[in-house]
Amino acid sequence: MKPASTFLKFLGLGTLLLGPVLFLFFFAKGEHKFKDLPYLGPKEVNYNADGSADTVYHVIPDFKFTNQNGELIASESFEGKILIVDYFFSTCPTICIKMTKNMASLQLKLKDEHFQNVHLLSFTVNPEFDTPEVLLKYAEKNEADLNRWTFLTGQKEQLYELGVNGYRLPAQEDALAPGGFLHSEYFVLVDQNKHIRGYYDGTDVNEMTRLLNDVKMLIKISKDKS
């Protein structure tokens, strides 16, 4: 065998053996690029004098409601946090049972220090029954960590207004709906700037995995921009 042929043979063998190692090395060392999450809800495009345009995305309006401890809580309390939001009521005979179970499970997965900036918010659609005392019992029954998961009640009209025009979720009384109230089964992911970034079926366990992954993505994006 000629020396050149021997060299090429060993070179090819070396490349074959080292290829996967080099791929893993560069993949581990390289920067991972994640696709950004969409901005959901209505938006406006403002045109500047120079012809450029700025997109203004939907922002969750400010609010003040009463929590499970009877304390008045303003939206400023969650400033700069990633929020996972839902609407429910404590006597709901159908979807709320699965939604609360999945929210409680999600809470456990978010317990790590990495997720300390993530907060869960549950708004009632039946504030006349869901008093702070009722919400506290409901929270305790579902083992909610009240440092990370807040239950809110207040004026019915304001709660519904925030749901429909803020989180873009249906929320209302409905005699034909199970339990007498209509609300969405979706969880809403809100970023640190009060923009809606995702909707997830709160009755679907698989959707909770997608939600958790998107929370991680928001944290990653936030760190990359800081």
Per-residue pLDDT tens over the stretch 139-153: 999 999 999 999 999
pLDDT band for 52, please (50, 70, 90 cuts). confident
Q: Evaluate whether residue 36 is within a structural domain.
A: no
Q: Is the pLDDT assigned to residue 21 strictly greater than 50?
A: no
Joined together, the tokens standing for residue 7 give 């060299």
Q: What percent of the chain has pLDDT above 70?
A: 84
Structural domain containing residue 156: 60-225
Mean pLDDT value across the chain: 86
Cα angle value 148/197/144 (rounded, 5°):
20
Q: Evaluate whether residue 107 is within a structural domain.
A: yes
Q: Is the pLDDT assigned to residue 31 strictly greater than 50?
A: no
> Facing residues of 46 across strands?
54
Q: How far is CA 224 from the centre of its chain?
A: 19
Joined together, the tokens standing for residue 100 give 């609360």
Joined together, the tokens standing for residue 3 give 């020396």
Long-range contacts of 195-199 (CB under 8 A, 24+ apart): 195/39, 195/40, 195/41, 195/57, 195/58, 195/59, 195/60, 196/39, 196/40, 196/41, 196/58, 196/60, 196/167, 196/168, 197/37, 197/38, 197/39, 197/40, 198/37, 198/38, 198/40, 199/40
Q: Is the pLDDT assigned to residue 1 strictly greater than 90?
A: no
Total domains present in the chain? 1
Query: What is the DSSP code (8-state) at residue 163?
Result: I
| 157-180 tens-digit pLDDT | 999 999 999 999 999 888 888 888
Half-sphere exposure of 180 (CA within 13 A, CB side): 8
Q: Evaluate whether residue 1 is within a structural domain.
A: no
Q: Amino acid letter at 152?
A: L
Q: Amino acid letter at 68?
A: Q
Q: Is the pLDDT assigned to residue 29 strictly greater than 50?
A: no
Residue 191 CA: distances (Å) to CA of 37, 63, 194, 212: 10, 16, 5, 13
pLDDT band for 96, please (50, 70, 90 cuts). very high
Q: Evaluate whether residue 180 is within a structural domain.
A: yes
Joined together, the tokens standing for residue 174 give 């409905």
Joined together, the tokens standing for residue 109 give 């997965």
Q: Evaluate whether residue 82 is within a structural domain.
A: yes
Query: 58: how many CB neighbours lie within 10 A of its CB?
Result: 18
Q: Evaluate whether residue 103 is within a structural domain.
A: yes
pTM, to two decimals: 0.82
Q: Amino acid letter at 179?
A: G
Helix (H) or strand (E) holding 166: none
Separation CA 178–CA 201 (nearest Å): 18
Domain of 161: which CATH number? 3.40.30.10
Q: Evaluate whether residue 74 is within a structural domain.
A: yes
Separation CA 136–CA 27 (nearest Å): 48
Q: Evaluate whether residue 26 is within a structural domain.
A: no
